[in-house]
Amino acid sequence: CNRRRILDNSSLHLQLISSLLRSFQYHLLQQLWYSFLFQKHYLLVFYCNWIRQKFEKILSGRSIWIIP
């Protein structure tokens, strides 16, 4: 009976550790993503501008989009 309780505790402990690791992993990924965004901020801005230009070209051409 006692051994089983220890086993349950250990499994709970493992779950806790795994969840902590998962959250830590998520946090690390978030940090990496943010650093990536900050590093590639100019690239992102350039890309957004490019997309906007494309959209403006499409809108001015009225080739795909029908504007009422």
Backbone φ/ψ region at 66: left (φ over 0), alpha (ψ -120 to 50), beta:
beta
pLDDT digits (tens, 9 = 90+) for 15-65: 888 888 888 888 888 888 877 777 767 777 788 788 888 888 777 766 555
DSSP 1-68: -HHHHHHHHHHHHHHHHHHHHHHHHHHHHHHHHHHHHHHTHHHHHHHHHHHHHHHHHHHHHTSS----
> pTM for this one?
0.34
pLDDT of residue 56: 80
